[in-house]
């Protein structure tokens, strides 16, 4: 909106992040996995470009989960009763999270497997 202070927009965005952490168990699981990946990356001293890949997929998963949570709430708000279209929309949003998660597992394996193999040699 015109004339709105940018800091106020940030305040609402932070409250969105607060809601998703507080209300979404899956988001908290993703945060836990993120902390493990960051810890492993630091321990194994992965390269700058490997950090780039890891941070991109971490962001992809967290953003997908946040958008999925917003879509779930939108559907519950506009269509609280059981409806095939509500199911389809929610399943599509959940599918987006799954795609992001699968891609991030592959990226994690591609980055970490060579380091693990090196440790064993
Ligand atoms: N109004 C509805 N009509 C028909 N099916 C629905 C409806 N709401 C949810 N579902 C079905 O139940 C599934 C789970 O929906 P729900 O809103 O409980 O998400 P959730 O289990 O909280 O998901 P997440 O674990 O990602 O937070 C949906 O993917 C959909 O298949």
User: Binding site for substrate, residues?
Assistant: 65
CA of 70 to the centre of ligand 1 (A): 12
Contact between residue 29 and residue 62 where contact means Cβ atoms under 8 Å apart: no
* pLDDT tens, N- to C-terminus, the chain (121 residues): 555 666 777 899 999 999 999 999 999 999 999 999 999 999 999 999 999 999 999 999 999 999 999 999 999 999 889 999 999 999 999 999 999 999 999 999 999 999 999 988 8
Residues whose beta carbon lies within 6 Å of some atom of ligand 1: 24, 26, 68, 72, 79, 82-83, 86-87, 90-91, 94
Domains of the chain in start order, with CATH, are: 7-120 (1.10.287.3610)
Q: Which residues contact 5 (CB under 8 A, 6 or more apart)?
A: none
> What is the value of pTM for the model shown?
0.90
Q: pLDDT value at position 9?
A: 78
Q: pLDDT value at position 5?
A: 66
User: Binding site for ATP, residues?
Assistant: 12, 24, 72, 90-91
Q: Whose CA is nearest to atom 25 of ligand 1?
A: 26
């Amino acid at each position: 909106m015109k004339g709105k202070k940018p800091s106020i927009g940030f305040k609402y965005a932070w409250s969105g992040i607060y809601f998703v952490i507080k209300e979404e168990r899956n988001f908290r699981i993703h945060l836990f996995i993120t902390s493990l990946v960051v810890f492993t990356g630091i321990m194994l001293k992965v390269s700058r470009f490997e950090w780039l890949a890891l941070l991109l997929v971490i962001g992809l998963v967290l953003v997908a989960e946040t958008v999925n949570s917003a879509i779930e709430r939108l559907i519950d708000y506009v269509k609280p009763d059981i409806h095939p279209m509500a199911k389809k929309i929610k399943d599509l949003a959940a599918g987006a999270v799954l795609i992001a998660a699968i891609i991030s597992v592959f990226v994690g394996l591609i980055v970490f497997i060579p380091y693990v193999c090196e440790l064993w040699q």
